[in-house]
Amino acid sequence: MIEILIVAALVLWSAVVVFKKVFPKTSGSVFLTLSNSCEAKGWHALAKWLKPKVAAGCGGSCGCPASDESKPKAPEVQAVKWK
């Protein structure tokens, strides 16, 4: 019985992950709708968890980083000069 519940949870989680990857705009609208309905019922923690992340920058689908944080550059390796 417990094995069935574990397998069902894994299959459901995998389906949600694939849905988010294959249909990003549709999944965003679906999860926003679910979040709004949970917020209306007073389930604030679940609504916050379901709310989709807001894409920053140019929308995040062009290959540029979606966050405004600039990655610190690694210091360049300098050659050692012997005197």
Closest CA to 55 of 37, 63, 70, 67: 67
Q: What is the pLDDT of residue 59?
A: 55
With H, G, I as helix, E, B as strand and everything else as coil, classify residue 21: helix
Q: Where are the domains of the chain?
A: 2-50
Using DSSP, state whether 82 is helix, strand or coil. coil
User: The whole model's pTM is what?
Assistant: 0.57
How does pLDDT run across 35-80, given as a tens digit for each residue? 999 999 999 998 898 888 876 656 555 666 555 556 667 778 888 8
Angle value at C-alpha 14, between 8 and 61, nearest 5 degrees: 160
**Alpha carbon of residue 56 to chain centroid:** 12
Cβ atoms of residues 36 and 47 within 8 Å: yes
